[in-house]
Every structure is written in structure tokens, then in C-alpha cells.
Structure 1
Amino acid sequence: MINPSANGWIKKFFLENESNYKDYNNDLLTFYHDVRTSGFIYGYVIRINLINETDTSELSSEEVTKIALLNSLFSLYKIVTKSDDQSVFIEKAISFYTYLHQKGNSIFAKSNPNLEECIATRIQTNENIFAKNFSHIITNALLFMDILAFKKYLELEENPITYLKSVEESTIVLVSNALSIKENPTQYDTLLIKLFENSLRYTKFTSKKFEKSKFGKFDSIIEILYLLDIAAMAMWSDDELSTVEKAYLYSLCTELHIVDFEYKISLDSIDAYIKKYKKEIPYFNYSNPVKHFYDQSNKNVTKLITRNAKRLTKELRESKELVFLLAKSTTSDLSKDEKKKVKKQLLDICKSIPSLTIFLLPGGSLLLPILIKYIPQLLPSAFNENLEE
């Protein structure tokens, strides 16, 4: 089991998947179709593109996205360079990200940043530590731009920042135009704007309509399909697209020289993806921030507890007073001192398990009730014995 929140996960990923990588036979189109269906294009990854899929049920969406970004970068590296040398790939990827963060990022002030740190900085879009773990927008929805820029870097061996800015600006043109002509705006449009605003790094989002766009500088199949998918994402609706909306997308296809077949695949893909995963996609669940915070926290803590169940069970069984107090709390109120003891002892246990140190962050104690909720499932016999007493 790979833990992308702990050091050494990239090395372990390569070791565990030595013969599990998909061979795209230098086919960028097949690679892109795979990345699209994984959800990576849309900002919420549902699977890792490997021959035998990795079990991600115990991973947070941020952790899944880390693996997906690494795997996509490596897959593209193999297509462009026709090499599968992992050490050279890592050197190239670190060099690439060093260009993107030459200013304003503390980890790149070090002489030797590692790829795990580079990937972590690209996944997160929120600055606050606590918000990074429980925000409604956890990952960068425009992360595929890193893949496009990495391709350009491998081909030209030059600073990719100008290219990346160009792709980002073109994406804003598309989204702005698409949203401006929509005939029946929905709450989804507002959520989409929030998602893009949180994902942009080099430009500012604007709702101003651009009269004319120029995309002739993009000619790679993965560039033009990505621009189409972003536009389709902005146009998406529960109902069928209007004539005007279809006309806009079709004119975009003409400008980008995209065949009708790929146009249909793009529309069908975004429609099927959102309808199937709408309840899971974070930016669709922001209508009630408090409820969403609790739901997201519940999911994250549940995964952490599941992942560390054995260690947590062992620590709890050795804390007889804590178990007794927790059992007591199910039948009567604890005194002020007893509540302090429960909180202190739980935090001490979390301190001893690296993955649970999130509870020690500012505000982390607010999550303790979620942890307490699952303790009876870990120690049913101990709880029953205490309740009998």
C-alpha cells in the first residue's frame, strides 16, 4: 500500500509497478483518452491509469491525485523520450518544476528539492494548512497543464513558464467565452468559476468576453483536445446543450481542427463523468460549507483510521483509563477534568502515529469527535466490558 503523504512514496510506486505501466506505443491520443476517463482532466481523479488498477479506497483525493500526476508525467516522458529510465525521468521532472518555481516557493530555495515535494506543491491550491486538508477545492483542476508544459520542456529543453502562461490564458479565454454565451446559467457555473480561480497560478480569471481567440499556436493532439474538454466542462448542463452552445463548441472544433468524432467523445465523456460522480466531486458540494466541511473531514478521518486501525487499536488497548472514560461518555456526561483527560490522551496517541498527526494541527482537536465515533468499532469488546461495569 503506497502512502503518498509519507516520504519515499515515489520510490515505492516505481518498485510496486515495475511491470504494471501501460504501454501507449508512442500514441499521444490513446494516452489522452486514458487520462480523460480517469477524471484527471476534470480536477477529480477516480482511478490511476495502470494495467492493474491500484486500490485507492483508503487514500484521500489529494493522495490519489499525487499518484495520478506522477504516473501521467512518467507515461508522457516514455512517449516523448522513448525511454523508461526512472532516474533520468526524476531528474527531468525536478528540473522542470524548478523552472516553474524559481521565485516565491520555499522548497525550491533549497539546493536539492525532491520530486515528492515538487508534486505536493502542484496539487495544493489553498495556502492555509488546515484548509489544505479539508477545503471544498483540494486539488488543482488545471493540473493537466503541467503535463502539456512537461511535454514542451522535454522537446525543447527550455524554460516552460512562457508556454504554461500561454496555455492558462487560452483556457481563460475559452471558459470566459463559454460562460458568457450560456443560455441557462446554473449554480454549477458559479462553482466552476471558483474552481478555476483557485487553480490559476499565473493569470487572473475574468468573466469578460473575448471577441476573438487565437489557438493556432497549439497543434499537438493533447493540447487541442484539452482545450476542447475545458470548454465542454464550462458548457456542461444537466439538460441538452442549446443550439447556440453547440454552435460555439463546434466552431471551436473547426478552429482547432478537431474531427467530429473527437468532438462527440468529448461531450459524451464530460456528461457521463459528471452524472456518475457528481456526488463525489468536491466543487459540487459547496452549497452548505459547514456540512461539507464535516462530510469531507469525516471521509478523510475515516480513511486515516482505516489505514492505521491496527496501530490505533494497540495504542487504545494500552490506554485503559481512556477506554473507560470513552465508554462512560456513552451513558453519562463526563466532568470537565475527564473531558480534558480524554482530549490529552487521544492527542498523545495521535502523536505516536505519523498519519494521525493531523489532529495536532491548529483546529485539529475539532476532529476528535469523528475519531471517537469510530473507536467502538475498533474496540467493541473493551467497550462492552466497560459498559457492563
Structure 2
Amino acid sequence: MINPSAFGWIDKFFVEQETTHQNFMVSEEDFYLRTRATGFIFGHIIGFDSVKPITIKDRLAKEISKIGMLNTLYQMFCLFKQDSDKDQFVNEAVAFYNLLSPKGFNPLEKMLPSSSESSKLEKIIHDRVQTNEDLFSKSFSHVITNALLFVDVLAFKKYLENGSLPDKYFNRIEEIVISIISLSLKSKTGFSVHDELLQKLFESSVRYTKFSDKQIKSIEDLDVSYLEHDLEKFYVIDLAGISLWSDEKVENEERYFLFKLGEKLNINERFIIESIDFINDFILKYKNEIPYFNSSNPVKNFYDHTTESVLVLINRNKKRLVKEVSQSKELMHLLAKSTHKELDKEEKKKIKNQLLDICKTVPSLTIFLLPGGSLLLPILIKFIPQLLPSSFNENEERE
């Protein structure tokens, strides 16, 4: 199984996928619909459109995003070139990102000249899906900005077509997306706390650099002439649609907004209707998993998401962790005591210090050594007793 958190995962991806046997998509709409079905368009990936199935079970959200990013870029390359040459794809992708280099994003800055192209692409993708320096320091408001990763795919298509990028293409597309999202939220019949949060989430995207000063109050004020291709138009319609969804339906006034938007973009009504139906089915099926729809309390959402991530790391390093913990009788005693009695300040400090020492020896757990990481040690402490043998609790003399 490929591990996007380990070096060399892109080369392994192509070995596992046997891409030489790939059947090429022949239309952009087919590509878009298949990509949308994975959830990549909405920043919530539930699967991958790949030659061979790739599981999302027991993967961190960042790892899922990395695979989704690589696979979607590659599918775009195959669609445009009608070729599955993985080496050419990797070279083109690295050249594209090197050309893009938006403000504050220099993916190759720390790469050695001798680094392989695939290792460079790994670094680039890591930076693109990483909305901030690390899990613990990033703001609660960045939980869905990966929905904007599809802009990378649109820009990559432009690059493949022209060998270059139109001036400020990335910023122009994002500006249109934000404007349409804001308009769609204003058109809703009821404005919930989720709607306000959604607007803030998109507007705080670290990839977005500057908003237009122009005040856009209606669809008529929108300048969508920059959107030349159906892929761009499909994308903004779907993002508008998901922002309009509430209470398990899209009201008539909100449908009217989507049809007016489709008319302005010269997209037929068939796609609008299919978009409404797809979004409704997608949200109803995955609502409990999509951060936005569970973010009335952003702090709780952040904690829940982080707990899930920590559990994945604990399970992956279970044997090593149990071995390290078992070597300290004092730590074992304190952990056992913590399962049935409140520890005093000094005891808590001992557990914290000893666990931090253990985390230094387990590479995957060094995240707890990052700024703010120690604040999440209670999550680690909570689940460690569940990993230890049953005698761990049975033999502990209760006070």
C-alpha cells in the first residue's frame, strides 16, 4: 500500500497502478463527472478514479488529499495527451508548478539539484495540500480550503495547452470562485451559522492572495468572460450549488440562482439539474464526515479531526509505542492510575515528559514535539492504555 507520508510514494503509485494499461477518457465532461464523483471537487475525497482500487481506510486526510491531487493531475494529463507516459507527466507537472510559483510558494526552494523529478513533485504536492506549516498550528478556518485544489488542475490544463499560463490565471479563477460563493450565500432563503462559516473558510484560504475591490451585488454584476472552458464553468456551478444546500434541499429561489448562473455561463439546464441532484445525494450520504456541516463549533470540529489523525498514527506505531512504554515501570504505573484516578500536577508532568521522550524515538510521533503539539498529548494518553495488555489494568493496585 502506498504511503504518501513516506519518500518515494509517487514512484510506487505508478508501479501499483500499471498505468500502461489505462483506458483514456475522451471528453472533458466525462473527466469532470468522474472527478466529482470522488469528492475531490468539494475538498472531501471519498474515493479515487484509478486503474486499480486505492483504499482510503486508515489514511490521514492529508494523505488522501495527496493521492487525490496526484491522480487527478495525472488523469488530466492522460485526457489531454491521450498518453499515459508517467515520466513525461511528472516532468510536465514539475515544470508547471515551477512556472506557477505564486507569492509565498516556492516548492523547489529546498530541493537538491540531484533530486529526482518525482521527489520534487512529492515536495510540491505536500506543500499544495498543506494549508499551513503543521496540523497543530493551522487555523480552524482552513478545514475545507482543499476544495480549491481543483484550480491547480484547471491551471495545469492551461499549461498543457499553451506551454505557459495566462497572466495571473490562478488568482483570476479564485476571485471568480469567491465572488460566486459570496453571491450564492446571499441568495439563500435562510442564512445559517454554517453559511457564515463557509464564507469565512473560503475567504481565508491561504492560496487566495487578493480580492477585487469591485462590489458584486448580483449575477448581472459578475464578469465571467474569463471562464472559457466547460471545466471551469462546471466547477463554479458545483461550488455554488454546495454552498446553497441547506436543510436537505435547495429552495426554489436558490435553484433560480443556479439556473441564472448557468445561463450566464452558457451551460445547459441538464447539467444544472444533475448538479443539484448529485450534490444533494453526496451531502446526505457523507454529511456526518464533511467538516463544514459539523462545524457549528469549530474548536470541537478541530479536536474531533485531530483525535482521528492521532488514532491513525497510534495504530500505525502500536508495537513500537507499546514496547517503549513498557520499558518504563513508572510511566506504566502512572498511565494505569490515570484510568481510574485524577493525577496530581507533578504526576501529569512526569507522564508528559516521558511520553515526549518516547515520541523523539518514534519518527511518526515527532508531531507532538512541534509547537502546540504537547497540548494534544491528552489524546495520546487517553488511548495508550487501550493498546496495552489486559493485565495492565487488572494488575494495577487501586488506591
TM-score by length of 1: 0.90
Residues 39-77 of structure 1: CA distance to partner in whole angstroms, max 9, x if unpaired?
A: 111121122222443222211222211110110001111
Report the Cα distance in structure 2 between the residues aligned to 1:248 and 1:103, rounded to whole angstroms. 34
Number of the residue aligned with 1:86: 86
Number of the residue aligned with 1:287: 296
4+ long deviations beyond 6 Å = none
User: Cα distance 1:136–1:218, how it changes in 2: closer, same or farther (>3 A)?
Assistant: closer
Report the Cα distance in structure 1 between the residues aligned to 2:390 and 2:257, rounded to whole angstroms. 63
Structure 1: runs of 5+ lacking an equivalent? none
Number of the residue aligned with 2:193: 187
User: Cα distance 1:197–1:79, how it changes in 2: closer, same or farther (>3 A)?
Assistant: same
Report the Cα distance in structure 2 between the residues aligned to 1:302 and 1:160, rounded to whole angstroms. 44
Number of the residue aligned with 1:209: 217
Alignment of 1:1-389 (within 5 A): 1-19=1-19, 23-101=23-101, 103-110=103-110, 112=113, 114-126=120-132, 130-132=136-138, 137=143, 139-160=145-166, 162-199=168-205, 200-204=207-211, 208-210=216-218, 211-238=220-247, 240-334=249-343, 336-384=345-393, 386-387=395-396
Structure 2: runs of 5+ lacking an equivalent? 114-118
For 1:209, give the aligned amino acid.
K
Give 3-state SS (helix, strand or coil) of 1:380's partner: coil
CA drift at 1:324? 2.5
Give 3-state SS (helix, strand or coil) of 1:362's partner: coil
User: Cα distance 1:183–1:142, how it changes in 2: closer, same or farther (>3 A)?
Assistant: same
TM-score by length of 2: 0.87
| Residues 223-232 or 147-156, more deviating | 223-232
Report the Cα distance in structure 2 between the residues aligned to 1:316 and 1:304, rounded to whole angstroms. 16
User: Cα distance 1:302–1:110, how it changes in 2: closer, same or farther (>3 A)?
Assistant: closer
For 1:380, give the aligned amino acid.
P
User: Cα distance 1:334–1:248, how it changes in 2: closer, same or farther (>3 A)?
Assistant: closer
CA drift at 1:357? 1.0
For 1:123, give the aligned amino acid.
V
CA drift at 1:342? 1.9
Give the number of equivalent residue pairs.
389
CA drift at 1:23? 3.0
Report the Cα distance in structure 1 between the residues aligned to 2:61 and 2:230, rounded to whole angstroms. 28
CA drift at 1:378? 1.2
User: Cα distance 1:354–1:209, how it changes in 2: closer, same or farther (>3 A)?
Assistant: same
| Residues 328-337 or 147-156, more deviating | 328-337
User: Cα distance 1:294–1:179, how it changes in 2: closer, same or farther (>3 A)?
Assistant: closer
Give 3-state SS (helix, strand or coil) of 1:104's partner: coil
User: Cα distance 1:304–1:133, how it changes in 2: closer, same or farther (>3 A)?
Assistant: farther
Give 3-state SS (helix, strand or coil) of 1:7's partner: coil
User: Cα distance 1:127–1:320, how it changes in 2: closer, same or farther (>3 A)?
Assistant: closer
Identity of aligned residues (%): 47
Report the Cα distance in structure 2 between the residues aligned to 1:42 and 1:366, rounded to whole angstroms. 30
User: Cα distance 1:78–1:42, how it changes in 2: closer, same or farther (>3 A)?
Assistant: same
CA drift at 1:144? 0.7
Contact 1:43/1:143 (8 A) holds in 2: yes
Contact 2:216/2:222 (8 A) holds in 1: no
Q: CA RMSD in A?
A: 2.7
